[in-house]
Structure 1
């Protein structure tokens, strides 16, 4: 029993006493102090650069609005007018045409059948949500007297549009320019979501 008491006291003293610093810990602590002072000095020298780099970030910030979000009645509908316009048309290329309009991959209906140079419109009603608008352009072959769908590469690409709540109607304009090539043939105006 007498042998256990000194061992027990040594055990308690070893846990209660502060750890003994070795040479490696002292060197490590001194190196850390040097690094901390170097970091502090570099931070003090470059406050102007930090402020200049942060300025462009404020342009991308969205400020929070204090107005409460109001739920929209699901029965309330939005009037959408789609206008298909062709510009810079040669009289030789001016054929009868129409566009079939789809929203969210569901057929809405065709526009009027007119020459490419004339504006074609379609009015329909939809809900206050983000929708995908897709147009398929058809031309009438003058020799076969049959409607032919343009190739996929010549069709306008689908675009999303999102109405804003207080508005009761929106106008979406799709312009076609045959002199351009590829995706530049079509330009979109209205409440389309930019990508």
Structure 2
């Protein structure tokens, strides 16, 4: 089975990605068989419960790895082994062969679509701020955070929110990863 066929099978049910056109065709044809033989697929995750989480016992759970585990099981791959990765390192890790798939919610952007193949989305979300009750600083945008020296923002490292905060002028020391 070719990797593109494998990804097409996974496309309807999970947010898996695979390297697109960066791997030689001969390697693509054997990827699923290799994963079946080794008994697991290596997935990159972010540690963001409830979407992805690593328990004290090392077991990976959450919506994204649970869906990936089921898809791989149906494809004949017994399990998944996850490693936590910063968002900005996920696609390079996939391209370098450190991961077989990414099961984190990476925004679909043209430059990413040129680098990897996305499945059909399993989740659509939007940005929102979680603020102290009553929003005492009156924050409504990244610019509001940038303009208020008392405001700080928490964001996933390498994630879109971190990038948007920095682009809006929030100083690096007030973006808490």
TM-score (norm 1): 0.20
Of Structure 1 and Structure 2, the greater strand share is in: 1
Larger Rg: 1
Of Structure 1 and Structure 2, the greater helix share is in: 2
Higher RCO (Cα < 8 Å, 6 or more apart): 2
